[in-house]
Amino acid sequence: MHRLFVALRPPPAVRAVLAAAMGGVPGARWQDDAQLHLTLRFIGEVERPLAEDIALTIESIAAPAPSVALAGVGRFEKRGRADTLWAGVAPHDALAALHRKVDHALVRLGLEPERRAYLPHVTLARLPRSAGHGPALDRWLADHAALTSAHFTMPELILYESQLGSDGAFYAPVVRRALATNESRT
């Protein structure tokens, strides 16, 4: 089985801004540089023949590269406790359009459509139950609420395979598809 997702990767300067915001929440499992990405569509586990079809489909997607900026931080909760810290990305329109394009292409292959609302973000940390509340978490959210960056472009659509291990997830790029940038459209 192959555990797949489609994502965009922020450029090095933006990943450095994100890395600078990490820390200060005891017990948090902060992402490393190789894990920083913006998920467009989680696929999950699929058999090899479908994984190969997905790779070909991602290679065929033509779309403009979104221009976005970091826009604040937040948390996802599960059962009343934070389990994920993230950095927001705005504006959402270009990302939502690319998300829909990827989702529709995958549905044509027979995958179920994405049912959850799409919230563009870059995951910064996973939180165990013991770290999902308290003053350190509240302080981190307050300290980084105004996290921003200059606009940046993410010029590649990437199909990743996620391999879960005892130290967390390792993401290996399977396919990279160049997206059209302003320079390539002129």
Q: Note the helical H segments in 109-178.
A: 135-143
- At 12 the pLDDT is 98
Structure confidence at residue 29 (pLDDT):
92
pLDDT tens string 75-106: 998 888 889 999 999 988 989 999 999 999 99
pLDDT in tens, 112-129: 999 989 999 999 999 987
pLDDT value of position 128: 85
Strands (E), 9-66: 29-30, 38-46
158 with 37: CB under 8 angstroms? yes
Exposed (0-12), middle (13-18) or buried (19+): which is 96, by Cβ within 10 Å?
Answer: middle
